[in-house]
Amino acid sequence: MTILQSYGAAEVVTGSCHLLQLQCGTNILIDCGMFQGLVEERNQNSFGFDPSDIDFLLITHGHLDHVGRIPKLVKEGFKGTIITHRSTMDLAEVVMLDSAHLMKESYKTQYRKAQRLGKEKEVKEPLYTESDVRAVFHRPILFATYDEEIDLENGIFVTFKNAGHILDSAIIQIIYEENGRKKTVVFSGDLGNDDDLVMPSPDIVKEADALFIESTYGDRNHKGAEESDLELKHVIQKTFLNEGNVLIPSFAIERTQEILCLLKQMYDKGELPACQIFLDSPMAIRATEIYKRYHEELSECCNEFLERDGTIFDFPYLHYSPRIQDSMKINNEDSRCIIIAGAGMCNGGRILQHFKHRLWNEKNALVFVGYQVQGTLGRKIVDGAKKINVYGEDIIVKANVHTINGFSAHADQNGLIEWMSKFTKLDKVFLIHGERDKQEIFQKEIEKRLDKKAHIVKFGEKINI
Ligand SMILES: [Zn+2]
């Protein structure tokens, strides 16, 4: 009997970690991500399995919630082989190092505070350090290519297919034989949209005995991309007319590159007023470099830019601000700036410095282009906070706050159902990577439109395949 157990992204959207134990004795882990937001403390818990029992770790893509606990996995005894795309490991390195750095800084701050109360022994050590991240790269790594069948062992074959979510993101198909019968298990990974500016559309998969599908937006449909583009354009034009500036808190991987492409498109069409655009995030700059390096995996639009201009993302208004001095210089700019800075949910990063300089001024605009998780500063502002606190200083929120939801890198309900409808053979359906209430809505929709029962996977639940 083959068994699947989810140790993350079960009834929540973060912490992706799924263990497939095959009857032949091979153990495969699919993703090993970080829990974020309200469930963050779960990262400190044990995995729920012994990392030294895992033979292979397959990684769908380089987002933190899919790779963030790999250093912990290695630290706690994982001795197996990692299989993923080369670019995914490049992105994962940036993401995991950033995560180690943030945890170190937060530990130092908490330790100092606790010292004043004589409680420093109660402060939890960071989950892992930068040297733990380096140890990940000492494990054997096998680089995958789309559509190439990898022979694992014991007659198990793995194929990575394009999920169209971020650079080289993958749908993973695992084929094996059990009791003389061929079986196919498919993990959707995070699925992208068909109309994404930077990524190609997700590949179609035809067969699965068991499909484990993400359900982040299983409950809703996004506004169209065109509508969102127009909204952003109007905010920029209106803000510049008032001699203000536009702040965009942005996620380093994918959303930043999409916004850059969109601004470049507006520039091409003569729809972007003369301005200065600052990409003020070292992590986003590094991710953008990785996107450039693997350009052949990006959309046609990106490759047309490259052919025409010799560069995908650059255009005359765009400046990169890698160093802190570059970032501080932006403060001297009076108006007509677009400042793209991390973190995407404003729970740290350079965006906070820009809040100090600009959030209190009604001429400016703050544009959210990604989901703001509960418990983050971004969510507080979206929910209408009139005053926030940044590094111990109160700041009133007078800038115009906008939320534009159409830039999601995840397929919406229609996208997910349409992707599922292309299967010619689909036996069992399991929902992962979604909040419970949203999954229940998605479950009903699947039954209504595809006449299929879908099961919502619980943490640690044993699923027989
Ligand atoms: Zn993702």
Rounded mean pLDDT for each run of 10 residues along the chain, 465 residues in total: 96 96 97 91 96 98 97 98 98 96 92 93 94 98 98 96 97 96 97 91 97 95 87 96 96 95 96 97 97 96 96 97 96 94 91 97 96 84 95 95 87 96 98 96 98 97 96
- Given this model, what pLDDT does residue 37 score? 80
Residue 307 neighbours by CB under 8 Å, 6+ apart: none
Residue 455 neighbours by CB under 8 Å, 6+ apart: 428, 429, 430, 431, 463
**Among 409, 223, 195, residue whose Cα is nearest residue 299:** 195
On the 0-12 / 13-18 / 19+ scale of CB atoms within 10 A, 264 is: buried
The CA distance from 220 to 410, in Å, is 11
Output 235-240 pairs: Cβ under 8 A, ≥24 positions apart: 235/365, 235/367, 235/400, 235/402, 235/404, 236/266, 236/272, 236/273, 236/275, 236/338, 236/365, 237/273, 238/365, 239/363, 239/364, 239/365, 239/400, 240/273, 240/275, 240/335, 240/336
- Given this model, what pLDDT does residue 195 score? 80
Q: How far is the CA of 253 from the centre of ligand 1 (A)?
A: 9
What single DSSP character describes residue 191? -
The CA distance from 232 to 170, in Å, is 30
Are 202 and 163 in contact by the 8 Å Cβ rule? The answer is yes
What pairing do the DSSP bridges indicate for beta strands 157-162 and 170-178?
antiparallel
The CA distance from 55 to 25, in Å, is 9
Q: How far is the CA of 272 from the centre of ligand 1 (A)?
A: 30
- Helix or strand (DSSP H, E) at 427: strand 425-432
The CA distance from 57 to 84, in Å, is 9
- Given this model, what pLDDT does residue 212 score? 98
Q: Which segments of 198-303 are extended strands (E)?
A: 207-214, 246-249, 276-280
Q: How far is the CA of 123 from the centre of ligand 1 (A)?
A: 30
On the 0-12 / 13-18 / 19+ scale of CB atoms within 10 A, 284 is: buried
Are 255 and 344 in contact by the 8 Å Cβ rule? The answer is yes
Q: How far is the CA of 165 from the centre of ligand 1 (A)?
A: 7
- Given this model, what pLDDT does residue 217 score? 92
Q: pTM of this prediction?
A: 0.94
Bridge partners (DSSP) listed for residue 247 = 339, 366
On the 0-12 / 13-18 / 19+ scale of CB atoms within 10 A, 342 is: buried
Q: How far is the CA of 216 from the centre of ligand 1 (A)?
A: 10
Q: How far is the CA of 360 from the centre of ligand 1 (A)?
A: 33
- Given this model, what pLDDT does residue 412 score? 93
Residue 60 neighbours by CB under 8 Å, 6+ apart: 16, 30, 31, 66, 84, 163, 169, 170, 171, 172, 187, 189, 190
Name residue, tokens 């309900």: 413
State the Cα torsion 431-435-438-441 to the nearest 10°.
40
Q: How far is the CA of 452 from the centre of ligand 1 (A)?
A: 26
Question: Which ranges of 49-85 would DSSP assign to H, the alpha helix?
Answer: 64-67, 70-75
Q: Which segments of 7-43 are extended strands (E)?
A: 18-21, 27-30
- Given this model, what pLDDT does residue 6 score? 98
Name residue, tokens 């994962």: 92
Q: How far is the CA of 14 from the centre of ligand 1 (A)?
A: 9
**Among 162, 191, 159, residue whose Cα is nearest residue 175:** 159
Q: How far is the CA of 69 from the centre of ligand 1 (A)?
A: 14
- Given this model, what pLDDT does residue 319 score? 97
